[in-house]
């Protein structure tokens, strides 16, 4: 496995791969790798010939009061993880490599970013789409892999590559969960043991809503009330938002018909967690 730190070197690696007719798979990450990342890396390995993983904690996607400084950076473990997953290249740039002095450009998707994560975390998606534009230019992947756990992010990134004609296919892999249903996230490591238990409230709320929809409930209000109640029943949890939305446009739905996505953001102590479920309603 090669560790590459400069844009010039990752471009040269990608060029060599393309020239020898190989398809490049790419898994962008912020490190603190877990089984969710492993499943994306494995999907990338199945679908392409050469896989690059980037590890870059992107300062542009953190708000001024968010956890940029606390965000975990276990680089040695992450490199070991990638070696075990037989990744060909890890791109591990320094912040200055991605954002040299006098960096002034931003890439912003408009409508899709106005709600949910975009509303709760102003500037977050602009940071995500700006860094990904740059990373896609450097790596030039044929396919890039994202987790469904960050549902809105995946929809926003798909919109961005469509709008800007970025020649990459966005592949979304399923959320990987713990035994009690908690979605794997780099932020789970911040949870104390009682908080870890309380974090089960997110999955409980989503599965309760899913149960209602599967047994024919079509009232958005009733489904939302149930999700909200399940979160409020947990004393360590504080709901930030719950929504029933169209999976493509992310518009909140008035009447449940066809496929919907349930979206949830919840604070457990000082840790903010998100989760979602896409449900096909007959
Ligand atoms: O999902 C993430 O880890 C990040 O938002 C991403 C896509 C790597 C961009 O920094």
Q: Which of 96, 79, 86 is nearest to 7 (CA)?
A: 96
Which tokens in the block code for residue 87? Answer: 């990744």
Q: For 2-173, which CATH class?
A: alpha beta
The predicted pLDDT at position 60 comes to 98
In the reported structure, the alpha carbon of residue 253 is separated from the centroid of ligand 1 by a whole-number distance in angstroms of 27
The predicted pLDDT at position 225 comes to 98
The predicted pLDDT at position 282 comes to 79
Ligand 1 closest atom vs CA 128: 9
In the reported structure, the alpha carbon of residue 128 is separated from the centroid of ligand 1 by a whole-number distance in angstroms of 6
Q: How far apart are CA 258 and CA 246, in angstroms?
A: 9
Ligand 1 closest atom vs CA 61: 10
The predicted pLDDT at position 201 comes to 98
In the reported structure, the alpha carbon of residue 86 is separated from the centroid of ligand 1 by a whole-number distance in angstroms of 21
Q: For 186-275, which CATH class?
A: alpha beta
124-172 per-position pLDDT tens digit: 999 999 999 999 999 999 999 999 999 999 999 999 999 999 999 999 9
Average pLDDT, the chain: 97
Ligand 1 closest atom vs CA 157: 7
In the reported structure, the alpha carbon of residue 237 is separated from the centroid of ligand 1 by a whole-number distance in angstroms of 25
User: Does pTM surpass 0.85?
Assistant: yes
Q: How confident is the model at residue 247 (pLDDT cuts 50, 70, 90)?
A: very high
Break the chain into its structural domains and give their ranges. Answer: 2-173, 186-275
Ligand 1 closest atom vs CA 57: 10
Q: Which residues line ligand 1 (CB under 6 A)?
A: 28-30, 58, 61, 128, 131-132, 150, 153
The predicted pLDDT at position 222 comes to 97
* Least reliable range by pLDDT among 61-70, 85-94, 106-115: 61-70
58 pLDDT higher than 90: yes
* Strand order, beta sheet including 271-281: 237-245, 258-268, 271-281
Q: Which of 87, 91, 82, 79 is nearest to 136 (CA)?
A: 91
Residues noted as catalytic: 37
Best of 61, 98, 157 for a ligand 1 pocket test (most atoms within 8 Å of beta carbon) = 61
Cα angle: 159, vertex 40, 201; to 5 degrees: 85
Best of 128, 134, 152 for a ligand 1 pocket test (most atoms within 8 Å of beta carbon) = 128
170-218 per-position pLDDT tens digit: 999 999 999 999 999 999 999 999 999 999 999 999 999 999 999 999 9
The percent of residues in the chain predicted with pLDDT above 70, rounded, is 100
Q: How confident is the model at residue 64 (pLDDT cuts 50, 70, 90)?
A: very high
**CB-based contacts of 262, cutoff 8 Å, min separation 6:** 206, 209, 210, 223, 227, 242, 243, 244, 245, 276, 277, 278, 279
| Region 9-34 average pLDDT | 98
């Amino acid at each position: 496995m090669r560790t590459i730190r400069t844009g010039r070197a990752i471009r040269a690696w990608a060029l060599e791969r393309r020239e020898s007719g190989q398809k490049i798979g790419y898994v962008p990450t912020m490190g603190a790798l877990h089984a969710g990342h492993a499943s994306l890396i494995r999907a990338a390995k199945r679908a392409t010939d050469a896989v690059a993983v980037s590890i870059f904690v992107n300062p542009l996607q953190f708000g001024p009061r968010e956890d940029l400084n606390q965000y975990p950076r276990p680089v040695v473990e992450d490199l070991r993880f990638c070696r075990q997953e037989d990744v060909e290249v890890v791109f591990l740039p320094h912040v200055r490599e991605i954002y040299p002095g006098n960096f002034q450009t931003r890439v912003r998707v408009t409508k899709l970013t106005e709600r949910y994560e975009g509303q709760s975390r102003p500037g977050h998606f602009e940071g995500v789409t700006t860094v990904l534009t740059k990373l896609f230019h450097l790596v030039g992947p044929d396919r890039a892999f994202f987790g469904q756990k960050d549902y809105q992010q995946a929809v926003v990134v798909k919109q961005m590559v469509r709008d800007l004609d970025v020649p990459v296919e966005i592949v979304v892999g399923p959320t990987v969960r713990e035994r009690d249903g908690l979605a794997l996230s780099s932020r789970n490591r911040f949870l104390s043991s009682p908080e870890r238990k309380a974090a089960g409230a997110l999955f409980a709320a989503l599965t309760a809503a899913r149960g209602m929809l599967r047994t024919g409930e079509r009232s958005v209000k009733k489904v939302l009330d149930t999700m909200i109640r399940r979160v409020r029943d947990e004393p360590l949890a504080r709901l930030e938002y719950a929504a029933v939305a169209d999976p493509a446009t992310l518009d909140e739905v008035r009447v449940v018909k066809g496929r919907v996505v349930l979206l949830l953001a919840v604070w457990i102590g000082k840790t903010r967690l998100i989760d979602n479920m896409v449900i096909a309603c007959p």
